[in-house]
C-alpha cells in the first residue's frame, strides 16, 4: 500500500477545486509526501499496441449508439444498502466467510469497492445495480478475499520475495476482471478497455486532454476527474505527458489469465493457491503438495458452466484472437 500512498497527492482537493473553477482547463500541479521514482511509476510497463487495438475496438463496440448509462441500465435495478447487505450475507454464507470478512461502509472512500486484509470497503452512497454488485462480490470476495485466505495457509505467506515469486498483480486483477464479467449481463469489458486506452492517452497527453478523452465515455465530471487522477498521478506538473500505469494490468491480466486457463485445461485450483502469479503455480505446489485451496461457490457449484461462461466472455471480447507470445 505504500506506493499507492506515495502516489496520492496531498493537495488533491485544492487542485480539484482549481480544476473545476477554471472550467476544466487547468492542469493540476500535484504535491506528494514522497515523489515516486520513474521505475515505480512505470513498474507495470507501458500499454502495448496489440492490446491497445483490441481495447479500442471493445470501446467502440460498447459505446456504439449508446451511453454508459444505457450500458449500466442492462445490469438491473439500483440497489439500496439493505438490498446490497442481503446479497453480501448470502455470498458470505455460501462461501463460509461470515467469520472472516468485515464489511465497512463509508462516504469517505474514493473507490466504490476495495478489499484489503479481510476488510471489504464499500462506498456510500451506493450506486450499484444488481448485476454490477454481484460482479463486485465476485471480484472482491470471490477472487481477492479467497485467494488471500488460501495464501495465509501457505509456507510462502509474506515470504514471496525470499522464494523468488513473480509479481502477481496481472494474475490477481485479470482473474478478478473475468469474474466481474461473469456476474454481469453486459459482457464486453469496457471498463478494463477504458483503463487501458486512457493509460495510453495519459502517456502522451496532459491532464486536461486526458480528462476530455475520458468524458467521451464517462459523462459524470466528478467520476471523470477521479478516473483521470488515477492515470496522471505520480507527476508534479500534469501538463506533461506520463503517469502511473498500474491500471493496464486489469486488461492485460484478463487476457493472460484466460490464455493460461486454455493452456492448463482450466487449472482453477492452481489459480487459487494464493496471491501468486500463474507462472508460480508449479513452485507453490512443490512447496506445499498436499494443499487443497478453497474455491468460490460460483466455481464449485458447476465448474462446467463456469468454463462455458468464461469462454463466452473470451469470444465476445475477442481474447482468442490475441497471440500468447
Which residue among the candidates 15, 75, 132, 140 is catalytic per the annotation?
A: 140
Which residue in the block uniquely carries the three cell numbers 435495478?
77
Q: Confirm whether 209 is a catalytic residue.
A: no
> Using omega within 30 degrees of 0 as the cis cutoff, is the peptide bond preceding 125 cis?
yes
> φ and ψ at 232, to 5 degrees?
-105, -5
Cα distance between residue 104 and residue 123, in whole Å: 9
Query: Is the Cβ–Cβ distance between 159 and 102 less than 8 Å?
Result: no
3-state SS string over 105-165?
A: EECCCCCCEEEECCEEEEECCCCCEHHHHHHHHHHHHHHHHHHHHHHCCCCCCCCCCCCCC
Q: DSSP states of 158-192 as a string? A: T-TTTTTPPP-HHHHHHHHHHHHHHH-S--S-HHH
Cβ atoms < 10 Å from Cβ of 70: 12
First-residue to last-residue Cα distance in the chain: 31
Which residues are part of the catalytic machinery? 140
Amino acid at each position: 500500500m505504500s506506493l499507492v500512498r506515495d502516489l496520492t497527492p496531498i493537495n488533491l482537493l485544492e487542485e480539484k477545486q482549481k480544476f473545476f473553477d477554471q472550467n476544466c482547463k487547468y492542469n493540476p500541479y500535484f504535491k506528494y509526501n514522497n515523489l515516486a521514482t520513474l521505475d515505480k511509476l512505470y513498474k507495470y510497463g507501458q500499454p502495448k499496441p496489440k492490446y491497445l487495438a483490441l481495447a479500442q475496438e471493445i470501446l467502440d463496440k460498447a459505446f456504439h449508439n449508446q451511453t454508459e448509462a444505457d450500458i449500466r441500465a442492462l445490469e438491473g435495478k439500483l440497489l439500496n444498502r439493505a438490498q446490497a447487505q442481503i446479497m453480501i450475507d448470502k455470498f458470505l454464507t455460501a462461501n463460509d466467510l461470515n467469520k472472516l470478512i468485515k464489511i465497512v461502509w463509508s462516504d469517505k472512500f474514493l473507490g466504490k469497492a476495495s478489499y484489503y486484509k479481510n476488510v471489504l470497503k464499500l462506498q456510500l452512497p451506493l450506486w450499484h445495480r444488481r448485476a454490477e454488485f454481484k460482479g463486485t462480490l465476485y471480484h472482491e470476495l470471490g477472487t481477492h478475499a479467497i485467494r488471500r485466505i488460501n495464501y495465509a495457509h501457505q509456507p510462502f505467506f509474506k515470504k514471496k520475495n525470499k522464494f523468488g515469486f513473480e509479481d502477481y498483480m496481472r494474475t490477481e486483477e485479470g482473474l478478478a476482471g473475468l469474474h466481474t464479467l461473469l456476474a454481469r449481463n453486459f459482457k464486453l469489458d469496457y471498463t478494463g478497455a477504458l483503463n487501458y486506452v486512457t493509460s495510453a492517452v495519459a502517456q502522451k497527453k496532459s491532464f486536461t486532454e486526458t480528462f476530455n478523452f475520458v468524458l467521451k465515455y464517462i459523462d459524470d465530471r466528478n467520476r471523470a476527474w477521479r478516473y483521470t487522477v488515477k492515470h496522471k498521478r505520480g507527476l508534479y506538473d500534469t501538463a506533461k505527458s506520463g503517469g502511473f500505469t498500474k491500471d493496464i494490468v486489469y486488461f492485460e491480466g484478463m487476457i493472460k489469465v484466460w490464455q493460461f486457463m486454455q493452456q492448463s485445461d482450466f487449472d482453477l485450483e492452481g489459480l487459487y493457491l494464493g496471491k501468486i502469479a500463474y507462472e508460480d503455480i508449479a513452485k507453490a505446489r512443490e512447496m506445499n503438495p498436499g494443499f487443497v485451496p478453497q474455491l468460490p461457490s460460483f466455481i464449485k457449484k458447476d465448474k462446467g458452466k463456469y468454463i462455458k461462461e468464461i469462454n463466452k466472455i473470451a469470444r465476445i471480447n475477442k481474447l482468442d484472437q490475441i497471440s500468447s507470445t
